[in-house]
Amino acid sequence: MNRLLSRESRAPLLFGLLAGGLLAALLLRLNPLDLWAGTAGWELAGKILGGAFRPALDYEAATVPEGAAPLWLKILGAAGRTLLFAIAALSLGAVLGVPLAVLGSESAWRGWPVWLGRLVRPPVRLFQAALRSVHELLWAVLFLAAFGLSDLTAVLALAIPYAGILSKIYGEVLDETPVASQRALLALGGNRLQAFTLGLLPRALPDLVSYTFYRLECAVRASAVLGFVGISTLGLYLRQSFENGHYREVWSYLYALLLLVFLLDLWSSTLRRRLK
């Protein structure tokens, strides 16, 4: 990282990035004029964007079914479920990710015969990569086709790529943790498992927890998006309102998501500061 950003390599790196961006744009035949919508398009865009300034406080539909909850309660419930799905998926991802991270890390194999780590780590790391190479939305679509989408399969669809991402980052955190205390425990007669668990893990724990909370924000966004394939998170109602042309309601849901992510960020950053 540092070598990559050294003074001498900065200019070629920047140039390379720019050139790559231009090349990609040319290959995709990106045309700035595509942003110029037709008259009807402008009207629609205006309607949609206009909603941003006056989000709906009540249903926009002319008739609302008897006994329907008020809009704000519906939004609150959806936001709550969005958070719950995210927490459930992240927890499951972390539980699956920790053992994968340990097996795939360098630090856990310290003190073991070298060939053993070389034997175990590559397949584990390949498995981690496989887990995170498929996006949660694709998992959800797959599950939808195979089992029909239930809340459980939605959590699984989210948890699988998160297990892959968390295990990769957890492994990196473990390997960046100073080895002094792990070595010291080996020197005073601890076995390899004790040296890792009591010498290295406590030291890495604040960073592991901190990163997990950092990821909660992403999980909330992903959980909201999964609403588009049918689970009852913010995305579901956002899509329904959109399809009914209730653009002011769309903005109400978007603002709810924004507020949720903002509050989570506030909470998790205080928490992370305290973990330091």
Site of interaction with other proteins (CB under 8 A): 180-181, 183-191, 193-195, 197-199, 202-203, 205-206
**Which CB, 153 or 210, lies closer to other proteins?**
210
**Which CB, 199 or 227, lies closer to other proteins?**
199
Can you tell me the distance from the alpha carbon of 217 to that of 65, in angstroms, rounded to the nearest whole number? 34
**Which CB, 12 or 189, lies closer to other proteins?**
189
Determine how many CB atoms are found less than 10 A away from the CB of residue 104.
Answer: 28
Question: Which helix (H) or strand (E) covers residue 35, if one does?
Answer: none
**Which CB, 72 or 112, lies closer to other proteins?**
112
**Which CB, 163 or 195, lies closer to other proteins?**
195
Sign of CA dihedral 247, 251, 254, 256: negative
**Which CB, 138 or 205, lies closer to other proteins?**
205
Determine how many CB atoms are found less than 10 A away from the CB of residue 226.
Answer: 28
Q: How far is the CB of 211 from other proteins (least distance, A)?
A: 16
User: For residues 266 and 243, is the Cβ–Cβ distance under 8 A?
Assistant: no
Q: What single-letter amino acid sits at 222? A: A
Lookup result for tokens 């998790």: 268
146 CB contacts (<8 Å, ≥6 apart)?
A: none
Q: How far is the CB of 273 from other proteins (least distance, A)?
A: 14
CA-CA distances (angstroms) from residue 176 to 99, 111, 117?
17, 17, 17
What is the per-residue DSSP string for 14-26? HHHHHHHHHHHHH
Q: How far is the CB of 1 from other proteins (least distance, A)?
A: 24
Can you tell me the distance from the alpha carbon of 168 to that of 214, in angstroms, rounded to the nearest whole number? 15
Q: How far is the CB of 230 from other proteins (least distance, A)?
A: 43
Q: How far is the CB of 180 from other proteins (least distance, A)?
A: 4
152 CB contacts (<8 Å, ≥6 apart)?
A: none
Q: How far is the CB of 175 from other proteins (least distance, A)?
A: 17
**Which CB, 197 or 232, lies closer to other proteins?**
197
Q: How far is the CB of 108 from other proteins (least distance, A)?
A: 14
Report CA 273 to chain centroid distance, whole Å: 21
Q: How far is the CB of 182 from other proteins (least distance, A)?
A: 8
**Which CB, 170 or 251, lies closer to other proteins?**
170
CA-CA distances (angstroms) from residue 76 to 73, 163, 225?
5, 28, 16
Can you tell me the distance from the alpha carbon of 66 to that of 272, in angstroms, rounded to the nearest whole number? 46
